Amino acid sequence: MKKILLSLSVAALLVPATASAKCKDKSVGNLKKADGPALLQALSSSDDDCRADAAKYLGDKVGSGDLSTDEAKSSFAPLQELMLTDSSYGVRQDGLRALEEYLSNANLKSGALDAIQSAFERDDQDEKFFTKALAILMKAESSRAERGVVVHLSRYKKYKGPFIRKLLDAAQKLNQPEARDLPLLIVMDSGQPKPVRVKALDVLEHHKHPGLPDAYIALLDDPDKKIQIRCIDGLSRSGLPPRKVQAALSGVVRNEQKGDVRARALKGLKLYTSPELLPLIHSEVANEKHVFAWYHAMEMLLQLADQSSFDTLNAVLVRDWAYRDDMVVQTFQTLLRLVLAAPPEQFGPMADRVIMSIGARINKPEDAVGAVEESTKIEGQRIIDLLTPKEPAALVQIVETWVVPTYAEVVVVDLSVVDETAYSYEMSVQVDAEGNVVSSAGAAYGFGASASIRVSE
């Protein structure tokens, strides 16, 4: 018995599924073999499947050239009305597919595009319909999609992700100001799915939108490391507002758990180095465990160091932390500069500290962490010998022969002379008090009648 049941089950899987219900209106006859007038009559059948089949076969006949131009013209207006107003969404979609076939006839193309554009610019279609209509318009004549894309994007909160992404794909190819600006609102809306926000970022990058820094900042805290790195790299380009970049990347350095992400943010900060970053840099040099991140911070410190950096640089030399010998020597020399720049009464105590910290570094055993090369030891001892007499005047001439350390990636910015207003930009859209997207003047976006139902001449 079990074997028989098993055989029956397998057989059931092999039997084709029953076809979906088709036209039940016997008065319309066999639509597959019907001529143009019969199909046209079937468009008004009370049976949804009959109307759908009639639309499909009309489209097939126009696409294959089986209907004359005059016959096609006579079917155009009823088919368009069916696409726009039929009570069944499925039938509307079949009407849209049929009208797509009319595009192959040069005498019908303009009217068909009018109809499809009108359908796209409506509130009473579903997202599948809109997606198909958008694809047709973008392929045939993209300018016809512009108004629809703008209005639909302005209402993005009512749609699901796949359709929003299709709209954003279209916006990337259009040059309307709203099509460029609306993606920025979408990126900054944390309530939107990540794929939608990332697609909106693609559009902004394609158009080189001036609001890109704001878009990157909006996605900086994404848990996906690839997106974080993309946004950090975007903020690390020259020519962006320095204070905004500093604030954003400093936040990543302070709060991010992933060391390689912190390192990327510190590398970006090197393009916007300024004394305002010293507290963060001191903290990184003192505590950072990620090697690359630490080196980025150390390069900035050696170029920016002032009196507030004295304790941090001394601590680096006595810490069990190995780093490049050329930078160790630069640390020695930077400390000596800071000693010479201090008030006279502080020279002695500061010199003693430097002598102690340099001595701690150059006297490390060869197998100890942080041990240095012989040439570094010699330079360290030379500085100790110079400092030991505690005669500042004798040291100034020597220090002036040293080159202040510089690094190719470190660009020092004077924030006091930066005009932040130069980085402002105008938006063609805004969000009103109710959270609705409106024009910059506060007007709501809506559809007008872009095309009327008519018979092409």
pLDDT in tens, 107-158: 889 989 999 999 999 888 899 999 999 999 999 999 999 999 999 999 999 9
Q: Is the pLDDT of residue 215 over 70?
A: yes
User: How many domains in the chain?
Assistant: 2
Residue 278 resides in a domain: no
Residue 262 resides in a domain: no
> Which residue type, as a one-letter code, is found at position 208?
K
pLDDT higher at 41 or 184: 184
User: Which of 92, 112, 140 marks a domain boundary?
Assistant: 140
pLDDT in tens, 268-295: 999 999 999 999 999 999 999 999 999 9
Domain limits for position 39:
34-140
Distance CA 276, CA 365 (A): 38
pTM (predicted TM-score): 0.85
Residue 395 resides in a domain: no
What would the mean pLDDT of 14-37 be, rounded to a whole number?
67
Compute the mean pLDDT over every residue in the chain, rounded to the nearest whole number: 90
The tokens for 33 are 């073999």
Q: Is the pLDDT of residue 32 over 50?
A: yes
pLDDT at res. 456: 44
User: Which of 331, 365, 387 marks a domain boundary?
Assistant: 387
Q: For residue 9, name the pLDDT band (cuts at 50, 70, 90).
A: very low
Distance CA 79, CA 58 (A): 9
Q: For residue 401, name the pLDDT band (cuts at 50, 70, 90).
A: confident
pLDDT in tens, 172-187: 999 899 999 999 999 9
Residue 281 resides in a domain: no
User: Which of 372, 387, 402 marks a domain boundary?
Assistant: 387
Name the phi and psi angles at 63, rounded to 5.
-65, -35
Distance CA 347, CA 329 (A): 21
Q: What is the CATH number of the domain that holds 40?
A: 1.25.10.10
Q: Is the pLDDT of residue 217 over 60?
A: yes
Distance CA 438, CA 436 (A): 6
pLDDT at res. 454: 52
Residue 376 resides in a domain: yes
The tokens for 402 are 């040293």
Residue 96 resides in a domain: yes
Residue 129 resides in a domain: yes
Residue 434 resides in a domain: no
Distances, alpha carbon 213 to alpha carbons 8, 112, 418, in Å? 64, 42, 17
Contacts of 307 (CB under 8 A, 6+ apart): 338, 341, 342
